[in-house]
Structures are given as structure tokens and as C-alpha cells.
Amino acid sequence: MSDSLPSYAIRLQALHEALEDDFRQIVRHLPDQSLRAIDVGCGDGFFTKLLSEVQAEVTGIDNSDAYLKEARKKSGAVGNIRFVNADVCDLPFDDGSVDVVWSAHSMHSYPDIRKALREFRRVARPGGLLAVLESDNIHSVMLSSPPDLELAIRQAEHREIGDEDSYIGTYFPRFAMQLFAEAGFTGFRREQCLITRFGPAAEALSKFVELYLKDLLERTEKLLSDKMCRRLGSLADPRSPEFLPHKRDFAFSSLQTLMLGRASE
């Protein structure tokens, strides 16, 4: 349980605000609608609210009191939403009582992904839908930065990739088919959505890119040369003429992967 928001909360909120219409379209194309759904790892309730537009009843679940406070505030008077503080590996639902289990951009935060997926299977009714939306860390955000700088940053960022136990959530789409099957979900399929923006960025996307680049700098500066740090800092500084989102040739891409499976009968 946490009484403060995670360090990435503002950055993730900026991404959601910038790409809200794209994420709404992903949710609206879910094959199962007008049912009972849960949004596991709901955070500030962004996807819970989108799900409420197509599902009869949605429960947002998180173990952060701070996030749930934000979620309740943002959901306002939406009548078919409720929020519950619970552990992802111990969901407060009876066996087979949920039609749709949704999880978005949360796998990296689950302490035991395999156990969480088994818990998703327990609460899902036979034939019920599991829908997981994630991005692969290497391809999560693609920007029009100078290639030599980008390569140096990526090499620094992934210098210590760790082992499967530590990176499975960060690169979840690469392991999803096997993990779904192990947990008791069949009929696995994936859909990829490449979200793009071109030209000077609007305010929300500009803010996300600023925060994203500053986070990259913080995580990689000890492994980059002073020159590379200065260049990256200029791209991330709204006061700089080099601020990346304000460039006429700015390009942004985010590769989102929606993974679907059915709870075995």
C-alpha cells in the first residue's frame, strides 16, 4: 500500500492526455462489451473511465491509496465505476465472477507477474476475456532525435538489462503468448497499434516528451559523455531553441500492443 504517487505518475498522465483519443479507440474495439469488467493496476483511473464507456460495470483496482484518491476524483459522478484497494495477486472477487479482465501499462509494477496472471484466470469466468495493453520498452517511444545521440542513449539505457525475472514486465509483449498459456488462457492473439504525431507537438504531448527526455537523462547521464548529456538536455529544455517537440520536423511514435486471451473452459 502506498500513500504517495510513483515518480512516473506525472509522465504517464501526460501520455494519457496526449493520446486519449487513440487509447479510447483501442478500448472501444474490445470484442466483449456491456459486461462486468475489472481494471487491474488502474492507477489514476484513466483506463477505468474509458472502459466505463463500453462496459456495464467497471471496478478499478490498485494498491496505492494516493492513486485511488486521484482516480475517484477524476471519475467524478460516473455511475458504473467503483474503485477498490487490493493486491493484484489477491483480488476481492469470487472464482469465475468477472467477464473482462483489463490491465494496461502495469506489468512492470506487478511483483509476481505469473502469479498475477493466475489470479486473473481465477476471477475470469470460463470463456471470459483477458486484455493486456503494453508497450515494449525498446519500442515504447520513438522520436526524431539525432541518430548518434539516440543510439548512445539506448546503449546506456539498456546497459544492464538484467535477467528474465527483472525484465519480463518491461518487455512483456515478447513473453505474453507463453505466459497467457501457462496461466490458463487460450486463443491468444495480439494487435499492434502504432500511434503517430508529426509536426510541432500540442501542449500535452510536448509535456510528455519533455518529461520523458528528462527521465532518460537522469537514468543515463552517468553513462553518457558530457557532450551527449548537454545535447540531450537541450532537447528536453522548453527554453532551448533545440527543444525537440517544438521542431517543425518533430515526429513521435508509440507502439502499443494489445494482447487478448480467453479463460479456458
Instruction: Report pLDDT digits (tens) over 234-254.
Output: 999 999 999 999 999 999 999
Please report whether residue 63 resides in a domain.
yes
Please report whether residue 3 resides in a domain.
no
> The domain that contains 157 carries what CATH number?
3.40.50.150
Please report whether residue 256 resides in a domain.
yes
Residue 160 has a pLDDT of 66
- Positions in the chain whose pLDDT score sits under 50: 1
Q: Which domain holds residue 218?
A: 9-263
Please report whether residue 258 resides in a domain.
yes
133 neighbors 107 (Cβ within 8 angstroms): no
Count how many domains the chain has.
Answer: 1
Residue 1 has a pLDDT of 46
Instruction: Report pLDDT digits (tens) over 16-70.
Output: 999 999 999 999 999 999 999 999 999 999 999 999 999 999 999 999 999 999 9
Please report whether residue 160 resides in a domain.
yes
Q: What is the b/e burial string over 8-30, where b = at least 16 CB atoms within 10 angstroms of the residue's CB?
A: bbebbbbbbebbeeebeebbeeb
Residue 162 has a pLDDT of 63
Please report whether residue 70 resides in a domain.
yes
184 neighbors 96 (Cβ within 8 angstroms): no
